[in-house]
Amino acid sequence: MSQDWDVIIIGAGTAGMPAAIFAAERNAKVLVLDAAPEVGGTLHLSSGQMSAAGTRLQKEKGIEDTPEMHIEDIMRISKNTADRDIAGLAVDNAAETLDWLEAINFKPLPDHPVKGQAHEPYSVLRYVWGADLGKSILAVLKPPFEEAIASGKVTLKLNTRVTALTQDDNGSVTGVAAQSDSGASESYSATSVVIAAGGYVANGAMYKELSGHPAYGDHSYPYCTGDGLNLGLTAGGTAWGHENYLTSFGVVMQSYDVPAKVRCRQIHWPERRMPWEIYVNAHGERFIREDEPSVDVREHTIQEQPELRHWIVFDSTTLKEAPQLFADFGPDDIKAAAEKGEPMFYVADTIAALAEKAGLPADALTETINTFNTGQASGQDALGRQNMPRPITDGPFYAIRSQAFSVSSTVGLKVNTDLQVIREDGTPIAGLYGAGEALGQGAMMGSSFCGGMLVTPALTFGRMLGQRLLPLGATAQAAE
């Protein structure tokens, strides 16, 4: 059967752009389709934090690190819930990706690599990002991507959403059907199709179905609506990772809408700021020692609380004297927001009145605070908290509602180590490959966040597919 294209790439984002760049370098004839009006996908929003072991940068700075050490860290942090084969494949090839990014002008921050802060830290310095976060990566991907288009090897069609995969009688994928914004239906055939269409966080219904929780946060790329996963499943693929849903600890939302944008971010890392406040759940009960040192423990504990939320409760002396609770939102802002009755911020002269405003059970909150205050006086906290700055005694009293949510998709398409999408019985669907968040974060990091293990694998698997798919291409001439 004659083919229009050697490779069709669905999605011109984090994984899709390197796939196209490397396939073009090897003279493949590449079609890239993206539903959005511009390239870049989630790199427009991502923090762009990447982890890789054995990079040129690490060697220059005398940091000893290997892919074996990296995968052992991932298995330790994830408590063996990451997929050793797929995460291992990403880790084994990550340094080459980072070295390539630097060769095309990516500049990590001067004091990088670091061990990481946002999630459970790595054991060595292997974590980097640029000054402009995800956009720093996009900025260096664009020139070679545009060159590949200019050379005629890559054809890019924006505003074009892939709606179906075409398959022959044996189930092999032979191309795609797509719809442009003008409403025109198009179909293209290819030897290989790469699903690089990202995750499903912008699809509230799908997010809820797959995670069991609403998508509380409105911080995803709007075109990541789960098409990649759905296309792969319809073609016979299988999904994995459902058991690995995890959120960050908590942020304060702008409104009670679902989803809502973030208003301010709580500094809940005791190494950055020791908590003076207490955290209570919807039952008005403390559920964790607030100075719990492990971010992984904090992230898992919040999963067990109703609606993944907690209230930060404190008194007016803490408001005045404690180090700032939010990075860009000071005590005066908290006071003003609470006095104006803005969403998530509550203030009242008594604990009972505070409970009523915040929607918490008054008796339980009163008892919780009494018990906490007794612990502060005796030096023995009921939950083992070590940081004992003061009791909650001086009205007016404050509560701030904090919501946990995730910006990435846990569930994804199952692939083998050739990045072929596989069926439930493990057999590959000929002609169909996957990279990026469409594979689900569970594969890369199991049920814990491992820093940089979405962006780096997306770039890496895209690069590897661009390099590897060529031998299957009918018209390509390898430029060895």
Nearest distance, CB of residue 301 and ligand FAD, angstroms:
22
219 or 401: CB nearest ligand FAD: 219
Q: How many CB atoms lie within 10 A of CB 107?
A: 15
Residues 6+ apart with CB under 8 A from 202: 215, 220, 221, 222, 223, 224, 225
Gap between the terminal Cα atoms of the chain: 26
For residue 452, state whether it binds ligand FAD (rule: CB under 6 A): yes
The C-alpha torsion from 341 through 347 and 351 to 355, rounded to 10°, is 30
For residue 406, state whether it binds ligand FAD (rule: CB under 6 A): no
Which uninterrupted H or E stretch holds 455?
helix 455-468
For residue 173, state whether it binds ligand FAD (rule: CB under 6 A): no
CA 280 – CA 311 distance, rounded (Å): 5
Cα-flanking dihedrals φ and ψ of residue 134, to 5°?
Answer: -60, -30
Nearest distance, CB of residue 325 and ligand FAD, angstroms:
21
Nearest distance, CB of residue 358 and ligand FAD, angstroms:
28
For residue 454, state whether it binds ligand FAD (rule: CB under 6 A): yes
Residues facing 7 on adjacent strands: 30, 192
For residue 453, state whether it binds ligand FAD (rule: CB under 6 A): yes
For residue 348, state whether it binds ligand FAD (rule: CB under 6 A): no
Among 42, 211, 447, 467, binds ligand FAD (CB under 6 A): 42
Cβ–Cβ under 8 Å, residues 26 and 470: yes
Cβ–Cβ under 8 Å, residues 86 and 417: yes
Per DSSP, helices labelled H in 93-190 are: 94-103, 134-150
Of residues 50, 25, 43, the one with CA closest to residue 144: 25
Stretch that binds ligand FAD, among 46-54, 74-82, 309-317, 375-383 (CB under 6 A): 46-54
Stretch that binds ligand FAD, among 7-15, 182-190, 313-321, 369-377 (CB under 6 A): 7-15
Among 24, 458, 465, 476, binds ligand FAD (CB under 6 A): 458
- Kind of pairing between the strands at 5-10 and 185-195: parallel
C-alpha 255: how far from chain center: 22
Stretch that binds ligand FAD, among 71-79, 83-91, 102-110, 216-224 (CB under 6 A): 216-224
CA 301 – CA 199 distance, rounded (Å): 25
Nearest distance, CB of residue 112 and ligand FAD, angstroms:
13
Q: Is 229 helix (H, G, I), strand (E, B) or coil?
A: helix
Among 3, 49, 403, 420, binds ligand FAD (CB under 6 A): 49
Stretch that binds ligand FAD, among 32-40, 52-60, 249-257, 303-311 (CB under 6 A): 32-40
Among 399, 407, 464, 476, binds ligand FAD (CB under 6 A): 407
Amino acid at 470: L
Among 7, 13, 101, 400, binds ligand FAD (CB under 6 A): 13
Q: How far is CA 199 from CA 122, 181, 341, in A?
A: 25, 21, 36
For residue 412, state whether it binds ligand FAD (rule: CB under 6 A): no
C-alpha 56: how far from chain center: 26
CA 10 – CA 32 distance, rounded (Å): 6
CA 341 – CA 203 distance, rounded (Å): 31
313 or 469: CB nearest ligand FAD: 469
Stretch that binds ligand FAD, among 57-65, 196-204, 251-259, 288-296 (CB under 6 A): 196-204
Nearest distance, CB of residue 129 and ligand FAD, angstroms:
7
Stretch that binds ligand FAD, among 38-46, 65-73, 74-82, 332-340 (CB under 6 A): 38-46
Among 108, 116, 198, 284, binds ligand FAD (CB under 6 A): 198
Nearest distance, CB of residue 136 and ligand FAD, angstroms:
11
28 or 39: CB nearest ligand FAD: 39
Cα-flanking dihedrals φ and ψ of residue 391, to 5°?
Answer: -80, 175
Q: Contacts with ligand FAD in 415-444 (CB under 6 A)?
A: 436-438
Nearest distance, CB of residue 281 and ligand FAD, angstroms:
26
**Exposed e or buried b per residue across 120-139, where buried means at least 16 C-beta atoms within 10 angstroms of its C-beta:** bbbebbbbbbbeebbebbbb
CA 31 – CA 42 distance, rounded (Å): 20
Among 7, 19, 36, 365, binds ligand FAD (CB under 6 A): 36
For residue 12, state whether it binds ligand FAD (rule: CB under 6 A): yes
Cα-flanking dihedrals φ and ψ of residue 173, to 5°?
Answer: -80, 130
For residue 197, state whether it binds ligand FAD (rule: CB under 6 A): yes
Which residue is at the shortest CB distance from ligand FAD?
Answer: 13
For residue 10, state whether it binds ligand FAD (rule: CB under 6 A): yes
Instruction: Point out which residues bind ligand FAD (CB under 6 A).
Output: 10-16, 33-36, 41-43, 45-49, 161-162, 196-198, 219-221, 223-224, 227, 407-408, 436-438, 452-455, 458
